Structure 1
């Protein structure tokens, strides 16, 4: 089994606004880093236009509401990317570019090798976690770490 993850966020301004330019200007850099990491399997892509990442894949038609959806071989490999690379620098500064969301915004789940989850499937997993809490079907870092012990 591989590990899928979805992280959503709502930018504080439209993607072409100077308020989020630093974030947008580094999307290709951070996504490229992910793709070169050991254990990276797949990432939902946008148009391929430089500096856009997959921001064209907005949620509910809101161009400020964006998603990152990827698949990794193991939790440890995803964790290394998220917390042990330049990605973590941007993660720590997310308040500069993203609104604080009241709803659940992150979920992981297991997928069969070769699976490329759809955004709709991923959002359903997020809704499941929000409604039922962490479970083997949809979980966060704490549940995953506890289950590994």
Structure 2
């Protein structure tokens, strides 16, 4: 059972193989609104980062125009994984290599936030860099190596010493 005082933040990034307006990415772009709508309606979904476009494909991440970001908050890991591996999102996952480059470093991380907190891009960058540098810890972890709600070792927004938000 999840501690209702906390929610699960997740960020994942992808490097585009082509511009968003290219024929190669047409199916991906066409699926964004339906997939986002299914996320918004999913059991346990809390929040997602979006710009005026209704998605976050134009939100800068690590200062790289070819990276797109997905930053969401969920009730818990069960709600997140239930959404990830069913329906339209599952179909998109199956086709991700058509649209995105394979990156060697970690591209997804999770962390607990106090209920009601909405993480910033800078916070997500910090958590992802922390995971890349230190591996899974209560500050930044993965679905495979997770930590219980409330286990975060840092105050929300606090960046561990020595870690900035650049790559």
User: d(CA) in 1 for partners of 2:92 and 2:13?
Assistant: 15
- Inter-partner Cα distance in structure 2 for 1:98 and 1:118: 23
The superposition leaves residues 82-124 of structure 1 with CA deviations (integer Å, 9 ceiling, x where unpaired) of: 0123211111210000011122100000000001000110010
Q: 1:28: which partner in 2?
A: 33
Tell me by how many angstroms 1:61 deviates.
Answer: 4.1
Taking structure 1 as reference, are residues 60 and 123 closer, same or farther at Cα in structure 2, changes over 3 Å only? closer
Deviation, structure 1 residue 47: 1.5
Going by fraction, where is helix more abundant, 1 or 2? Answer: 1
* Match status 1:18 vs 2:20: no
Question: Runs ≥4 in structure 1, deviation > 4 angstroms?
Answer: none
Bigger strand share: 1
Shift of 1:59: 2.1
| Aligned match of 2:102 | 100
CA 1:125/1:12 → structure 2, altered by over 3 Å: closer, same or farther? same
- Hey, what does 1:40 align to over in structure 2? 45
Say which SS state the counterpart of residue 55 (structure 1) adopts: coil
**Cα distance in 1 between the residues matched to 2:141 and 2:85:** 18
For the 8 Å contact 1:9–1:98, the answer to whether it is kept is yes
Q: 81, 87, 93: which one pairs with 2:89? A: 87
CA contact (8 A) 1:4 1:70 kept: yes
Which structure has the bigger radius of gyration?
2
**Alpha-carbon displacement from aligned partner over 1:3-34 (angstroms, at most 9, x marks no partner):** 00000001101111111111011101101100
- Give the corresponding residue for 2:156: none
Counterpart for residue 136 of structure 1? 138
The answer to whether residue 126 in structure 2 is matched with residue 127 in structure 1 is: no
Q: How big is the alpha-carbon RMSD for the aligned residues of Structure 1 and Structure 2?
A: 1.6
By how many angstroms is 1:136 displaced? 1.1
